[in-house]
Amino acid sequence: MTAKKLRYYATGILSLAVACIVFVVPFLFIVVNALKDKPEAARLHFTWPTETHLWENLVAVVQARDYMLITAFVNSIILTVVAVTGLVVFGAMVGFVLQRRPSRWSGLINFMVLAGLIMPPAVVPTIWLLQWLGLFKTLSGLILIEIAYSLSFSVLLFRAFIATIPRELDEAAILEGAGPFTLFFRVVLPLLKPVAVTVIVVQSVAIFNDFTNPLYYLPGSKNATVQLTLFNFQSMFNTSYNLLFMNILIITIPPLIMFLFFNRQIVEGMTAGAVKG
Amino acid sequence: MTTQNKKGTRRAFAAAYPSWFYLPAAVIFGILFLFPTFASLFFSLTRWTLFKYSFIGLDNFRQFFSEPFLVWGLINTLIYAVVTSGSKVVLGMLLGILLTSNVMMRGLLRAIVFFPVLVSTIGVGITFTMLMHPTNGLINDVIAVFGVKGPAWLTDPRFALLSVAFVDVWKGVGLATVIYIAGIVSIPAEYYEAAKMDGANALQRFWNVTLPLARPATVTVIILSLIGGLRSFDLIWAMTKGGPGFTTDVVASVIYKQYQAGFYGLSTAGNVVLFVLVAAIVVPLSFVLNRREVEA
């Protein structure tokens, strides 16, 4: 019994120690270096700062390049909120009809959903198309792109969840004279709240962290998103590692908040979406 | 009367799920994803300035398979995808087993392992570039404690690609782990009890119960990380930009470089190569893996 207990504590402490060294130290490294002054951070040592410069560094990062970080945050938040709203509404509409009324189109639609999950998008033709539509280098263009690229994931999750809602509910609403609009937006959509929360948190983290699509479709420092500022900052602060790390720290806060509040939904959504994909 | 009534109701039910619900999604997806995909098949055969194009047949592809730096992109993509995917399967499974067992502070450990999945890839890439610095980096400082001089992780061509792959695994293993946790938790406890009664030790239980019954999780992790690995761009761009030389270039970074250089036709050909590569690997593999699962 005691040997068993000893083993329990030994493996427990060992696992925790290894996990801390491998996964926590890099984050602590970001934190301590974000608090240092410029010469001290340039040494890249994993030591507590001799003097902490939290406020100074914070102000310097926010003010850099004419408050670029603020603009970037506004852009990223608009992008994330609008794109995720579109993903929830349009994805749920497709999932709903696809699950409820199989037709000769269903096979094709399922194929498209899988293609959307697997296939890498064709970049240059998309830029060409966006230019032609007048949407290149615009936030609206990028919003539509994010919706197009993530729709598949959203449809899969909604369809799976709608399968668990009894049809009798629809039938009752239809017999009471509800049209498709009322049925979907008044009756079904409110019931989709759990899966909608999952789609919202998973997709907002993904879109907020997206780097590649803004790089291609929204270039230029005027309308940067947060991930791009980080990249611009890297060359600019080539020697100001303290500000670079402070910047990383700041843009990690929104996903961290999501994680603290919605850990379960995120894990559920990622595993569910994965297993069905 | 009744048949007519039934017909009417059926029509009412059909009308309740109108096809136009597909419309907004279909328009966005069709225009911004499908159309460029088909257009790329054509533009990959051209020399293209976005305003003018001239048809040059398969020249872009010929170049893709003959220029060493483009061929290396192709080979690196395969190495990167296989290494990251394989590591995520092995480590994800081990972590999944550990984190479903009766271990101390299990919830905290799960959270620690999973959190990097949610952090900005660029942020992680930049941080690890610092940690892997050949002379000042923390990793080599730690190695030096044991009296060994660590290599230049990101600037030595022998290590660069694998170093980036390591960071990819560090960031992504949390997702593999939660998929395995979901898979392992769904294995009925009776199997383990039966195996125990038959006198199977821990290793035998792993080999004969966990491994075969967690197969759906394994298939998912393999497919998902292969797709991610083959398409990987942002981490490589944040850490090495394809260098030193082109030793860490992958197809996705070649596409970006050719785009930046203004070779739009060649860049688009790279895109076609990438999705043929992804489709040719992922589709048959998922077919084979899923079929065996049904037979078993």
**pLDDT confidence of residue A276:** 45
Does the residue B40 lie in any domain? no
Domain count, chain B: 1
Closest approach of A145 to chain B, Cα-based (Å): 6
CB contact under 8 A, A15 and B133: no
Residue A10 CB coordination number (10 Å): 11
* pLDDT tens per residue across span B73-86: 999 999 999 999 99
Q: For position B192, which CATH number holds?
A: 1.10.3720.10
**pLDDT confidence of residue B25:** 95
* pLDDT tens per residue across span B9-44: 666 667 788 888 999 999 999 999 999 999 999 999
Cα–Cα nearest to B272, from A127, A124, A277 = A124
- The neighbouring-strand residues paired with B47 are B54
Residue A208 burial (10 A CB sphere; 0-12, 13-18, 19+): buried
Q: Which residue of chain B has the CA closest to A251?
A: B120
Closest approach of A210 to chain B, Cα-based (Å): 8
Mutate to test the interface with A, among B52, B119, B220 (most CBs of A within 10 A): B119
Does the residue B145 lie in any domain? yes
CB contact under 8 A, B120 and A255: yes
d(CA A32, CA B38): 49
d(CA B70, CA B295): 41
Residues of B in contact with A211 (CB under 8 A): 120-122, 234, 237-238
Model confidence band, residue B1 (pLDDT cutoffs 50, 70, 90) = very low
d(CA A123, CA B231): 12
Closest approach of A149 to chain B, Cα-based (Å): 7
Closest approach of B226 to chain A, Cα-based (Å): 10
Q: Which residue of chain A has the CA closest to B276?
A: A119
| Helices B106-114 and B68-100, axial angle in degrees (round to 10) | 170
CB contact under 8 A, B123 and A119: no
CB contact under 8 A, A46 and B138: yes
Residue B294 burial (10 A CB sphere; 0-12, 13-18, 19+): exposed
- The neighbouring-strand residues paired with A12 are none
Has residue B236 got a pLDDT over 90?
A: yes
Distance from the Cα of residue A193 to its chain's centroid? 19
Place of tokens 């696809």: A98
CB contact under 8 A, A255 and B108: no
Has residue B289 got a pLDDT over 60?
A: yes
Mean pLDDT of chain A: 88
Mutate to test the interface with B, among A47, A94, A124 (most CBs of B within 10 A): A124
**Residue A190 phi, psi (nearest 5):** -60, -30
Q: Helix, strand, or coil here: B201? A: coil
Both tokens of A82, joined, read: 């609008």
Does the residue B6 lie in any domain? no
Residues of B in contact with A184 (CB under 8 A): 21
**pLDDT confidence of residue B253:** 94
Both tokens of A12, joined, read: 């427990």
Residues of A in contact with B14 (CB under 8 A): 101
Over residues B157-178, mean pLDDT: 94
d(CA A16, CA B113): 10
Q: Return the sign of the alpha-carbon dihedral for residues A5, A11, A14, A17.
A: negative
Residues of A in contact with B130 (CB under 8 A): 29, 33, 44, 241
Does the residue B4 lie in any domain? no
**pLDDT confidence of residue B9:** 64
CB contact under 8 A, B33 and A26: no
Has residue B90 got a pLDDT over 70?
A: yes
The shortest CB-CB distance from A274 to any of B39, B224, B252 is to: B224
CB contact under 8 A, B119 and A144: no
Mean pLDDT of chain B: 89
B66-73 long-range Cβ contacts below 8 angstroms, 24+ apart? B69/B246, B69/B249, B69/B254, B70/B254, B70/B270, B72/B246, B72/B247, B72/B249, B73/B246, B73/B249, B73/B250, B73/B251, B73/B253, B73/B254, B73/B270
* DSSP letters spanning A120-158: PP-HHHHHHHHHHHT-TTSHHHHHHHHHHHHHHHHHHHH
Phi-psi category of A67—alpha, beta or left, where left has phi over 0 and alpha has psi -120 to 50? left
Residues of B in contact with A145 (CB under 8 A): 32
Closest approach of A213 to chain B, Cα-based (Å): 10
Residue B78 burial (10 A CB sphere; 0-12, 13-18, 19+): middle
CB contact under 8 A, B19 and A97: yes
In eight-state DSSP terms, residue A225 is -
Mutate to test the interface with B, among A29, A96, A123 (most CBs of B within 10 A): A123
Does the residue B272 lie in any domain? yes
A-B CB pairs within 8 A amount to 248
Distances A64 to A49, A71, A236, A237, A248 between C-alpha atoms, Å: 23, 11, 10, 10, 14
Does the residue B13 lie in any domain? no
Does the residue B15 lie in any domain? no
Mutate to test the interface with A, among B11, B50, B106, B115 (most CBs of A within 10 A): B115
pLDDT less than 50: residues of chain A: 276-277
Domains in chain A with CATH codes: 65-276 (1.10.3720.10)
Instruction: Specify the length of chain A in residues.
Output: 277
Does the residue B158 lie in any domain? yes
Has residue B54 got a pLDDT over 70?
A: yes
Residues of B in contact with A209 (CB under 8 A): 118-121
d(CA B106, CA B239): 32
Mutate to test the interface with A, among B122, B239, B260 (most CBs of A within 10 A): B122
Phi-psi category of A44—alpha, beta or left, where left has phi over 0 and alpha has psi -120 to 50? left
B96: containing domain: 67-295
CB contact under 8 A, A94 and B21: yes
